[in-house]
Chain A
Amino acid sequence: MTWWMHIAVVVVVLIVLLNVPIGLIWLERRLLGWFQDRYGPNRAGPFGLLQPIADGIKLMTKEDWVPPFADRWVFIAAPTIVVMAMLLVFGVIPFTSSVAIADLNVGVLFFLGMASVAVYSIVLAGWSSNSKYSLVGGLRAAAQLISYEIPMGLSLVGVVMLAGSFKLGDIVEAQQRSQWFCLTQPVGLLIFLTATLAEARRIPFDLPEADSELTNGFHTEYSSMKFALFYMGEYLDITLVGCLTALLFFGGWLGPGLPELAWLAIKVVAVIVFFMWVRSVLPRFRFDQLINFGWKVLLPVSLLNIAVTGFVVLRW
Chain B
Amino acid sequence: MWSTLRSLWLVFLHLFRKRATVQYPEQEPPIPPRWRGRIILSRDPDGGERCVACYLCAAACPVDCIALQATEDEHGRRYPEFFRINFSRCIFCGWCEEACPTYAIQLTPDFEMGEYDRSKLVYEKEHLLISGPGKYPGYNFYHRAGVSIKGKDKGEAVDELAPADVRDLLP
Contact = CB atoms under 8 A, between A and B. Distances in A.
Contact of A37 (B4, B7, B12, B18): B18
A47 interface: no
Interface in B11-50: 11-12, 14-15, 17-21, 23
B14 A278 contact: no
Interface string A22-60: 000000000000111111000000000000000000000
A60 to B, nearest CB: 26
B23 A39 contact: yes
A278 B8 contact: yes
Contacts of A278: 8
A14 B12 CA distance: 34
A282 interface: yes
A282 B4 contact: yes
A304 interface: no
Interface residues of A, number: 11
B21 A281 contact: no
Contact of B7 (A34, A38, A282): A282
Contact of A38 (B4, B11, B12, B19): B19
Contacts of B20: 37-38
| A contact face: mostly helix, strand, loop, or mixed | helix
A277 interface: yes
A222 B136 CA distance: 58
Contacts of B7: 281-282
A37 B14 contact: yes
Contacts of A116: none
Contacts of A39: 19, 21, 23
A280 B13 CA distance: 12
Interface in A278-292: 278, 280-282
Contacts of B14: 34-37
Interface of A: 34-39, 277-278, 280-282
Given A35-B12, A35-B15, A37-B17, 11 more contacts: A34-B15, A37-B14, A37-B20, A38-B19, A38-B20, A39-B23, A277-B11, A281-B7, A281-B8, A281-B11, A282-B7
